[in-house]
């Protein structure tokens, strides 16, 4: 699904420049969530967004190019609205009609584009009309009949993140799809490339629910608990460090290349209760601030079970 900045939510509700900056920062927080968790999804803007009035006294262009506006804060927003992509480029050659609230024609707007692309809207909070979700519209193309469509509409990053994660989970029907959507599902975890091959040796139907549950526990824990307060035995899964004797004799089988190009020894692992499956992870330390996942698969050799 693609995201569209809702130009209709720029309705002149801003009272001062400070409030304007806060609203745009809020909007960019949502866009950053979209970009991070759904990397294959574009964020579309309007070619005319610069001319929209975010206040009765000034347009978006007046605000972002004013010498008193912090350009470093606005940089991401400026890039999106000046480089596109623009949803009008998609709609220009489509014979369509879009109606909201039964009588308000929003043809050629971001709402019509979201209907066409099965996308979702990113709106400014405090907009008088467009601060709710979902947005209900009647939409048709060509000579077809009107279809009733509900378009997700977000004004905060928390609900946007939940929506994107929920969409990603609903699409996971194989390890291949999981691998494509891993960053959207678990944005706090960094997966080694070798996991893609490891999963091909693990039955998806048998083990996927267990694996995904463990990864979710890890991701949620990393997100919610400050690094200085973490105890990786308290993530909601059975996790422990391999014994010294196992690491001495079989530690090399727990070494994997991480996404940053460094090869690490993954001594920590979580156990799948009732199944002979392990997830080996490398928590943040002095060399990395990331939580690396290096192995998902059958139990690796130990001193007591060298198999």
Q: pLDDT digits over 115-168, tens only?
A: 888 788 888 887 766 656 788 888 887 777 788 888 888 887 778 777 777 666
Clarify whether residues 16 and 133 are in a common domain.
Answer: yes
φ/ψ (deg, to 5) at 128: -65, -35
CA distance 169 to 222: 19
| Count: domains in the chain | 2
Are residues 82 and 183 located together in one domain of the fold? no
163 belongs to a structural domain: no
Same domain, 135 and 267: no
Note whether 102 and 203 are same-domain residues: no
Q: Is residue 304 part of a domain?
A: no
55 domain residue, yes or no: yes
Residue 306 lies in a domain: no
Return phi, psi of residue 238, to 5°.
-80, 105
Query: Are 135 and 213 members of one domain?
Result: no
Q: Which of 123, 157, 191 is the last residue of a domain?
A: 157
| Residue of 270, 267, 284, 161 whose CA lies nearest to 210 | 270
125 and 25 in a common domain: yes
Q: How much is the pLDDT for 196?
A: 92
Task: Supply the range of the domain harboring residue 197.
Answer: 172-298
**Do 122 and 184 have their domain in common?**
no
Residues 11 and 107 in one domain: yes
Does residue 278 lie within any of the structural domains? yes
- pTM over 0.85? The answer is no
User: Are 145 and 208 part of one and the same domain?
Assistant: no
pLDDT of 1 > 80? The answer is no
Q: What is the mean pLDDT of the chain?
A: 83
Q: Is residue 166 included in any domain, yes or no?
A: no
Mean pLDDT to the nearest integer, 41-67: 85
Question: By the 8 A CB rule, do 113 and 44 touch?
Answer: yes
Instruction: Report the distance separating Cα 226 and Cα 17, nearest Å.
Output: 34
Q: Are residues 118 and 246 in the same domain?
A: no
Distance of CA 198 to the CA centre of its chain: 25
- In terms of domains, do 143 and 278 share one? no
Is residue 307 domain-resident?
Answer: no
More confident residue, 168 or 11: 11
- Same-domain pairing of 67 and 129: yes
């Amino acid at each position: 699904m693609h995201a569209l900045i809702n130009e209709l939510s720029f309705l002149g509700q801003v009272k001062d420049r400070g409030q304007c900056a806060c609203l745009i920062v809020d909007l960019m927080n949502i866009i950053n969530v979209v970009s991070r968790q759904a990397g294959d999804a574009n964020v579309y803007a309007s070619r005319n967004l610069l001319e929209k009035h975010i206040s009765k006294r000034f347009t978006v262009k007046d605000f972002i190019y004013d010498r008193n506006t912090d350009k470093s804060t606005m940089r991401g927003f400026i890039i999106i609205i000046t480089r596109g992509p623009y949803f009008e480029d998609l709609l220009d050659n489509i014979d369509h009609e879009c109606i909201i609230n039964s009588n308000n024609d929003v043809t050629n707007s971001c709402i019509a584009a979201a209907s066409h692309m099965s996308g979702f809207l990113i709106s400014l909070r405090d907009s008088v009309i467009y601060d709710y979700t979902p947005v209900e519209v009647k939409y048709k193309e060509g000579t077809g009949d009107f279809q009733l469509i509900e378009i997700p509409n977000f004004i905060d990053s928390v609900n946007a993140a939940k929506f994107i994660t929920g969409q990603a989970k609903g699409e996971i029907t194989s390890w291949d799809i999981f691998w494509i959507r891993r960053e959207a599902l678990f944005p706090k975890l960094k997966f080694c490339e070798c996991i893609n091959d490891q999963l091909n040796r693990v039955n998806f139907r048998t083990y996927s629910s267990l694996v995904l549950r463990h990864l979710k526990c890890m991701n949620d824990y990393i997100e919610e608990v400050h690094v200085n307060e973490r105890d990786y035995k308290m993530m909601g899964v059975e996790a422990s460090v391999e014994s010294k004797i196992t690491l001495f004799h079989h530690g090399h089988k727990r070494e994997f290349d991480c996404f940053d190009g460094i090869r690490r020894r993954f001594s920590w692992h979580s156990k799948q209760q009732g199944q002979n499956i392990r997830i080996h992870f490398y928590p943040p330390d002095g060399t990395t601030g990331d939580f690396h996942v290096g192995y998902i698969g059958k139990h690796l050799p130990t001193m007591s079970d060298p198999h």
